Structure 1
Amino acid sequence: MEAVNKIIKHTLKAKLEEKKGTWTEELTQVLWSYNTTPRTTTGETPFSLVYGCEAMVLVEVGARSFRRDNYDIEENEVNHRLYMGMIEETREDAQIMIAAYQQRTTRHYNSKVRAWTFKVGDLVLRRVMPNTKVVSHGVFGANLEGPYKIKTSALGGNLPPQ
């Protein structure tokens, strides 16, 4: 939710540069544009994942377009039923794309992580946590404490860094 709110807030801020103080009038347009813009992760818009079809952009409603000029209500109903029958497949495809995106992101961040292995008898330092930090030392207080000697291994010989 924080990421969504950040995007909406950023878009509102950009819109309000032009129109000072009228954020309530701009909010509906910003929300509409957010819900009708395809996401990078899924390739679909949130609107289409919920309703099974694409929404018309507000500019299209007032102007003449091919889609508006060739609108047939019976054909639209048939197509809408067809899309609603396929919406579960579309959602599953979007879920697969999100999982693939998350795997790529995880792989990217994990490529920068250096694996450490510790053995029994190794000396290690432990990070000082905020609740154990001596307040009187201030900014110049120690960030690490120790050294500590590893006595036993709970994870089969490979211990994560502390």
Structure 2
Amino acid sequence: MGQTLLSLVFGTEAMIPYEMVNPTARSYLQHPKTNNQDLADDLDVINELRDSTRIRMKGYQQSTIKSYNKNAMVRRFQMGDLVQIKTFQNTMDPKDGKLAPKWEGPYKIKAEAGK
């Protein structure tokens, strides 16, 4: 996303205890008198950061959906077709182990439930 979660929520990065004991450039350049004003400025900019992050996240999601749908095949079944249903862990017999069947069926389609 380009931003840390803490900066998106609070508008500023966290300081680790090491930065408090051993001054770094970030803590050395900070002045107590202007600190409150700097934090207020960060809160003004946080909405822009959140918006840019939201746009970047939506773009990533759309590219992921596009690449997934590129390889997905649409299958249309008609009434009367025979289909098999994949078995899940809760429908398998635990005594069968790894030799348990992966599919159940065949089942005949009687009605259309929706899209």
TM-score normalised by structure 2 residue count: 0.66
SS in 1 for 2:37: helix
Please state if 1:109 is matched with 2:94.
no
SS in 2 for 1:146: strand
How has the CA–CA distance of structure 1 residues 130 and 62 changed in structure 2, closer, same or farther, with 3 Å as cutoff? Answer: closer
* Alignment partner, residue 102 of structure 2: 143
One-letter amino acid matched to 2:112: S
* Alignment partner, residue 93 of structure 1: 52
* Alignment partner, residue 4 of structure 2: 45
SS in 1 for 2:105: strand
Q: Deviations over 1:120-142 (max 9, x none)?
A: 12221122333443445443232
* Alignment partner, residue 36 of structure 1: none
One-letter amino acid matched to 1:91: R
Please state if 1:62 is matched with 2:31.
no
Please state if 1:119 is matched with 2:78.
yes
How has the CA–CA distance of structure 1 residues 65 and 146 changed in structure 2, closer, same or farther, with 3 Å as cutoff? Answer: closer
**Identity of paired residues, percent?**
32
How has the CA–CA distance of structure 1 residues 73 and 150 changed in structure 2, closer, same or farther, with 3 Å as cutoff? Answer: same
Q: How many residues align?
A: 114
One-letter amino acid matched to 1:82: D
Shift of 1:63: 5.1
How has the CA–CA distance of structure 1 residues 154 and 128 changed in structure 2, closer, same or farther, with 3 Å as cutoff? Answer: same
Aligned partners of 2:69, 2:31: CA distance in 1, in Å?
A: 52
SS in 2 for 1:111: helix
Cα RMSD between the aligned structures?
3.1
Which has a greater percent of helix? 1
How has the CA–CA distance of structure 1 residues 144 and 67 changed in structure 2, closer, same or farther, with 3 Å as cutoff? Answer: closer
Q: Which has the higher contact order (CA 8 A, sep 6+)?
A: 2
Instruction: Please list every run of 5 or more consecutive structure 1 residues that lacks an aligned counterpart in the other structure.
Output: 1-40
Shift of 1:113: 2.4
